[in-house]
Structure 1
Amino acid sequence: MGARCWKPGGPLLLVLPNVTALLLLAGTFLMLNWPAISIRPSAVKLSRGGVRMEQLEKSTSCSRPCLDGRKAKECYFKFVLEPRLTVNRGCSKCPGNDTECVERHCSLADGVQRVMLSVNGELPGTAVRVCEGDIVVVDVTSHLRGLETALHWHGQLQRGSPYMDGVPMITQCPIQSETRFRYKFRASNAGTHFYHSHYVSHHADGIFGPFIVRQSPQRDPNSDLYDYDLDEHVLIVSPWSHKALTYDLESQEDIEVSSVLINGEGSHFNPESRTRNHIPKTRFLVKWGDRYRFRVINAASLDCPIQLQVEGHELTIIATDGVPVKPTTASHLLLFPGERYDIVISANQAISSYWLMVIGHDQCKNLHQEAFLVYDGAILPHEFNEATKSSLNALMATMMKTCSSLSDATCRPQEMKELHKTDVQHLSAEQQKPHADMKLYIPFDVYVYDAFDDKDVNFRFMLEESINYPSYLYNRKAPIRLPQVDRLTFKYPPSPLLSQPESVPKGMLCSDDCRRRKFCECLHVIHTPLNVTLDIVLVNEGHGSNHSSTFHLHGYNFLVLGSESLGRPIDVAEIQLSDSHGLLSRNLVDAPRKDTVVVPSKGYAIIRLFTDNPGSWLFEARSTSSVIGGGMQFIVQVGEQTHLPPVPSDFPRCGDHKKPIFVF
């Protein structure tokens, strides 16, 4: 007979002998007052003989070894969103005293005090670590006074739970100040992901964190390439400004990035004094002879591609955007905003400390940050000396030579190939047909708008239907440059498109009449049938910009069939004509599967997906230098309302409280 657990309650305790009751009370007192135990994350040691569990001090209930045959869990997290000061009282004598810098209430950022927005007072926010198939429950309480927000689970496909995707006014009502919202969904796709506020300014100000979904070694086709997959080897990179974008309206139009952070910390270089402040560098510990899986996340909300390299070590890429790939050896990584790469670092060099460096590009140009890869037994240098400066400068020179421009062929050497898995073979067979069932050609560019006057802006605020251009177009000293998809600026509806479609005014949808105006702001929705093979060709026309753009599709990962830069301005009609003549090549054999794609400057990218996940899914540019305007976004609406799962019970509703016929 199996063991059973019995918990006495209420009156039953009174019948116990006095001595037993005293022992129970004493044990309870000791448990409540016992010193905190240091927590070391769960790990699985892989050996040639199979899987061997290490006995660790303590593990959380859901951050655990993920093994076949183990029952999935329901994993509960509590997120409290609130403003916090960086370099606050919890930091005590940090950054002056290194030992004080590890306090859990200390958010250093780059050592310059400012207001941040935090998840549970942390930067980055609290990590979510679960196993594939677990049910994730996150109760979000907002103390962001005067602000509304929502959390997007970047990389989770939300199959069967589209209402949990976290896009305000598309999948849910925004979370209001002093209210609570519950996200509940299954972690159906393993890999390295992250969560973030879907408001760009909130994301930039600190509301983001890692979301790691592990799987059993038997389900990971690259598990034989590494020995350890540790919680402390998650590396999340983020740009940081000394201005709180949420509260500083002037900084939102021309965002100035001050530093690049590694796991929420990093030193800051002051260009006026030509000095760098002393912030303890992040350390990643390894033991000689072992192979370690590192999970690297570019959590940038801004236009900040980052380059990463480890001194004296090669990187073996084993996954991208959570999907396994054919192992590829590279000297460095280049990650665009929203991208994730899983790499293996073999600790096979002399026992020492090695630089791990990230360098920013585009909006983060001329910014860099360092961390240490530290071998067990190595002496960590506590201050810069000639030797450490020399090795750091040599590494930086190599990285800058390798990637002096994002268009350099050597800048992004990793050419990913899909590693086919048996559980997606039926889907791949549909997607690898020579011709798709449906094609979409989506042009985008940066356009200049000027010459808006009083008659273009409805300053009377009357309720009659009239053309009302956004006020940010009016009364400007210089023309405004706006990124747009198909010359349309995206406008969010007053009610969630997914859960309250009946409350969305039909007149908000993009129309030919809107397109004929000198500026069109509308709800851009593209309808696609369920269960078709769809090719989307993103065309970066390049008349108004010389930058590449990074797009992320919610609800899907897709095959990246090909991309090319033509090196000159183009238009979508030219690309469509070339495709009709078979001049756009498609990799139909081993194209990588991603949820984020880089469209090169003056070029195109072709992606393919199978529309088997019904919902209203946002397709958005992850790279932006401003929060002014609607940005480059549109909705891919897959299927009809009848194909959707029921709206969860007690799901919040929102929208207009007055009809246009009323007069105030």
Structure 2
Amino acid sequence: MSKMIAGVFLVLAGVCVTSGEYELSDYANHPCIRECVEGAPPMTCVYNFTVEYYYVLSKACYDCPYNITDCFRPHCVAADGVGRGIITANRMLPGPAIQVCHNDMIIVNVHNKLEGSEGTTIHWHGVLQKGSQHHDGVSMITQCPITPHSTFQYKFKGGNRGTHFWHGHAGTHRSDGLFGALVIREPLSRDPASHLFDHDLPEHTMIVHDWLVELTINRFAGHHHAGYDNKPASMLINGRGTFREFPISNTNQTTHTPLAVFNVQKDRKYRFRVISNGIMSCPIQVSVDHHDIIMIATDGVPHDPIVVSSFNVFAGERFDFILDADKGVGNYWIRTRGLGLCGAKSTKQVAILRYENATETQPSGPTDYDSGRRKGKLLNPWNEKGGPGRTPVSWLNTTLADPLHMKQVPDKKFYVAMDFNKLDNYKFNHEELYPLAAVSRHMKLYVPQLNHITNIQPPSPLLSQYGDIPKDMFCGPHDTRDCRREYCECIHVIKVDLDDTVEMVLIDEGVTFNANHPMHLHGYHFRVVAMDKLNKSTSLREIQQMDEAGLIERNLETPVAKDTVTVADGGYTIIRFHADNPGFWLMHCHIDFHKAIGMGLIVQVGELNQMPRPPKHFPRCGNWEYTGEGEGEGERGTPRCPVNGAGRNQGDTCLLIHATLSAAIFSILCIRRSM
């Protein structure tokens, strides 16, 4: 009897489940996109994200780019014209934007449809998750990966305003397209910069990033195992750009995929929100031809306005600026120009700033790499000291009204040194067969580490299954191994007490390469109290001696608040935060390859008995080994049947209940869909 009903259930499910089982909406007209009004009740904002493998210029694109209108069809991802596999939410690049008001409740149902049987998670970058720590979306820190063919519901309050974004936080999914904007607006009466602009429009959110011309895992494996380069040749602005040229038959002309366009009206002032989903070590310089801009916020937090000609944005950072459309009606280039690894490839991209009533043509002027060099004041320089024309973020003064909690002497202080270390990492080198010392120069792989330690993923999430993790997997500041001489890996944890004032002195020793590391801390805004570049290289000991001698000045009065900040090569950045958000919070380099191979550590805030309890029926995962046959849960595929929250029925009775209820529900759904 039970088998018959189960068969009926499958037939009903087969009829009812179609390609539209999960809506693939862009949410451009979501009801939560509205003017935020003082005193108005918060809304509940629901989204469905279907995560799957997809492709640039798929069949959905028809004749794009030869017919440009085809490039704007639903599900058409044109990107830069290079056909390659991607990972998307709702077949969009970037994925759907979440635009809400302060204190709205955000609910996102993530449906994992990755055919490669990969787990995934979504991190809400910049959202502090106070009271919703289990929804931070970090694989094996705050949750298990969302398994294939299953759904996970994120639910959290938009509790801190500003320009944020969401992105995949498992594997290299973020680098392949799994990301999108997340903007939490507040009433204009609470925005300290509201008097400086006329419009704050969703369509003026801009996501910039370097872009590979193949699936990231191909480049990752080739770089780490076979010495292939890791330098991006392309770049995208809101998922669009030009890289590949398409020849037009019977002519000597070419065409290309369309650029992003941002529309303005003359003599109006606009707030632009810029997000870097940077992938590799590729700082991006942003500028607008013939327009200076007013910088007003970074990482969602306002600061005193500063007028600049251009700014650099590092991976994971966000900047808000005001553009005064006071030039002649026309089209102007918005330029992005890559530094670091991207400088080696002259990687760049352009978008169009189009005034109302301008012709729908491209701006005049070259679009080569050198044309993106903008003279004048630059905010957030890459590996340069602050000075005339160069303003580091540590010179910005916050307008944040929150209490500083800046003690003269912090409760906890950590020196964290980073560099590429010359060690035989067994994952990519074999000490006997192909050690680091024996391979050719272009195949030498140095290990990016913090304090000479590689952070590894726990077998179970720290926040919900701490007791399931073997204690010998952990290490911390007092590890006694000689990690300078041999490769060291562990779950790298530093512990602070709840309500501590914590200072971290981040040092990029800069011995191996001229690089930098944008460091992101989950769960917190920190204050950037000091920052400097000393030389081509430095050392933890040198910075410590300077600090002990009182040679490092700190701004403890008005320091800017951020969640992602660069550490200059051969320099330091000092951050402080008030440890008022209990949990296990990942701090890591936001360059995807560096994060993937362990350049990070975990900040434990509070004792285990102070950690938030997992939500009811929160997923569990971890190691398992065979211990014999027995009455395990789900024995022989039999579903569990809770009875009034305790106990369960088993056998055919349980299966009959499940099948009958499921068939009834699907019957109702099918009837409603057919009406």
Taking structure 1 as reference, are residues 411 and 628 closer, same or farther at Cα in structure 2, changes over 3 Å only?
A: farther
Query: Of the candidates 62, 65, 68, which is equivalent to residue 35 of structure 2?
Result: 65
Which residue of 2 is the match for residue 613 of structure 1?
Answer: 581
Shift of 1:94: 1.2
Taking structure 1 as reference, are residues 393 and 527 closer, same or farther at Cα in structure 2, changes over 3 Å only?
A: closer
Shift of 1:363: 2.1
Query: Of the candidates 185, 203, 210, which is equivalent to residue 239 of structure 1?
Result: 210
What SS does the corresponding residue of 1:90 show, helix, strand or coil?
helix
What SS does the corresponding residue of 2:207 show, helix, strand or coil?
strand
Q: Distance in 2 between matches of 1:265 and 1:169?
A: 33
Q: Is the 8 A contact 1:95 1:101 kept in 2?
A: yes
Which residue of 2 is the match for residue 28 of structure 1?
Answer: none
- Aligned amino acid, residue 449 of structure 2: Q
Taking structure 1 as reference, are residues 378 and 171 closer, same or farther at Cα in structure 2, changes over 3 Å only?
A: same
Q: Distance in 1 between matches of 2:281 and 2:429?
A: 35
- The answer to whether structure 1 residue 585 and structure 2 residue 553 are counterparts is yes
Which residue of 2 is the match for residue 418 of structure 1?
Answer: 397
- Aligned amino acid, residue 448 of structure 1: K
Superimposed CA distance per residue, residues 96-119 of structure 1 (whole angstroms, 9 cap, x where no aligned partner) = 122222212210111111111001
Shift of 1:581: 1.9
- Aligned amino acid, residue 244 of structure 1: L
Which residue of 1 is the match for residue 447 of structure 2?
Answer: 482
Which residue of 2 is the match for residue 184 of structure 1?
Answer: 155
Query: Of the candidates 487, 497, 501, which is equivalent to residue 462 of structure 2?
Result: 497
Which residue of 1 is the match for residue 128 of structure 2?
Answer: 157
Which residue of 2 is the match for residue 653 of structure 1?
Answer: 620
Q: Is the 8 A contact 1:200 1:627 kept in 2?
A: no
Superimposed CA distance per residue, residues 393-436 of structure 1 (whole angstroms, 9 cap, x where no aligned partner) = 884354699899753757753655233344x1xx21x22x3222
- Aligned amino acid, residue 80 of structure 1: T
Taking structure 1 as reference, are residues 114 and 139 closer, same or farther at Cα in structure 2, changes over 3 Å only?
A: same
Q: Give the structure-1-normalised TM-score.
A: 0.82
Superimposed CA distance per residue, residues 570-598 of structure 1 (whole angstroms, 9 cap, x where no aligned partner) = 22122222212211110122211100111
Taking structure 1 as reference, are residues 529 and 454 closer, same or farther at Cα in structure 2, changes over 3 Å only?
A: closer
- The answer to whether structure 1 residue 623 and structure 2 residue 588 are counterparts is no
- Aligned amino acid, residue 411 of structure 2: D
Write the mapping of 1:70-85 to structure 2, written as runs, cut at 5 A: 70-85=40-55
Q: Distance in 2 between matches of 1:223 and 1:455?
A: 55
- The answer to whether structure 1 residue 407 and structure 2 residue 407 are counterparts is no
What SS does the corresponding residue of 2:418 show, helix, strand or coil?
strand
Runs of 4+ in 1 over 6 A off after TM superposition: 38-41, 391-394, 400-405, 451-459, 471-475, 659-662
Q: Figure out how many residues of one structure are paired with residues of the other and give that number.
A: 585
Q: Is the 8 A contact 2:297 2:321 kept in 1?
A: yes
Taking structure 1 as reference, are residues 390 and 257 closer, same or farther at Cα in structure 2, changes over 3 Å only?
A: closer
Which residue of 2 is the match for residue 5 of structure 1?
Answer: none
Query: Of the candidates 155, 158, 164, which is equivalent to residue 193 of structure 1?
Result: 164
- The answer to whether structure 1 residue 278 and structure 2 residue 256 are counterparts is yes
Which residue of 2 is the match for residue 296 of structure 1?
Answer: 274
What SS does the corresponding residue of 2:190 show, helix, strand or coil?
coil
- Aligned amino acid, residue 442 of structure 1: V
- The answer to whether structure 1 residue 99 and structure 2 residue 69 are counterparts is yes
What SS does the corresponding residue of 1:523 show, helix, strand or coil?
strand
Q: Distance in 1 between matches of 2:382 and 2:144?
A: 41
Q: Is the 8 A contact 2:310 2:374 kept in 1?
A: no
Percent identity between matched residues is 37
Q: Distance in 2 between matches of 1:69 and 1:189?
A: 17
Query: Of the candidates 352, 356, 361, which is equivalent to residue 376 of structure 1?
Result: 356
What SS does the corresponding residue of 2:365 show, helix, strand or coil?
helix
- Aligned amino acid, residue 268 of structure 1: F
Taking structure 1 as reference, are residues 619 and 413 closer, same or farther at Cα in structure 2, changes over 3 Å only?
A: same
Superimposed CA distance per residue, residues 491-548 of structure 1 (whole angstroms, 9 cap, x where no aligned partner) = 1110001110001110101274654671111000000011111111011112222212
Query: Of the candidates 230, 255, 262, which is equivalent to residue 230 of structure 2?
Result: 255
Which residue of 1 is the match for residue 331 of structure 2?
Answer: 353
What SS does the corresponding residue of 2:96 show, helix, strand or coil?
coil
Taking structure 1 as reference, are residues 453 and 482 closer, same or farther at Cα in structure 2, changes over 3 Å only?
A: closer
Query: Of the candidates 559, 565, 570, which is equivalent to residue 538 of structure 2?
Result: 570
Q: Distance in 2 between matches of 1:584 and 1:120?
A: 49
Q: Distance in 2 between matches of 1:234 and 1:402?
A: 21
Shift of 1:473: 7.6
- Aligned amino acid, residue 58 of structure 2: N
Shift of 1:569: 2.6
Taking structure 1 as reference, are residues 292 and 454 closer, same or farther at Cα in structure 2, changes over 3 Å only?
A: closer
Shift of 1:92: 1.5
Q: Distance in 2 between matches of 1:276 and 1:551?
A: 41
- Aligned amino acid, residue 446 of structure 1: F
Superimposed CA distance per residue, residues 197-221 of structure 1 (whole angstroms, 9 cap, x where no aligned partner) = 1135211111011011111001111
Q: Which 5+ residue runs of structure 2 have no aligned equivalent?
A: 1-24, 246-251, 630-675
Q: Give the structure-2-normalised TM-score.
A: 0.81
Q: Which 5+ residue runs of structure 1 have no aligned equivalent?
A: 1-37, 42-58, 460-470
Which residue of 2 is the match for residue 637 of structure 1?
Answer: 604
- The answer to whether structure 1 residue 318 and structure 2 residue 296 are counterparts is yes
Q: Distance in 2 between matches of 1:648 and 1:95?
A: 48
Superimposed CA distance per residue, residues 155-212 of structure 1 (whole angstroms, 9 cap, x where no aligned partner) = 0000011111111111000111111111111110010000111135211111011011
Query: Of the candidates 73, 85, 91, which is equivalent to residue 121 of structure 1?
Result: 91
- Aligned amino acid, residue 42 of structure 2: A
Q: Distance in 2 between matches of 1:653 and 1:457?
A: 37
Q: Is the 8 A contact 1:245 1:251 kept in 2?
A: no
Q: Distance in 2 between matches of 1:582 and 1:344?
A: 38
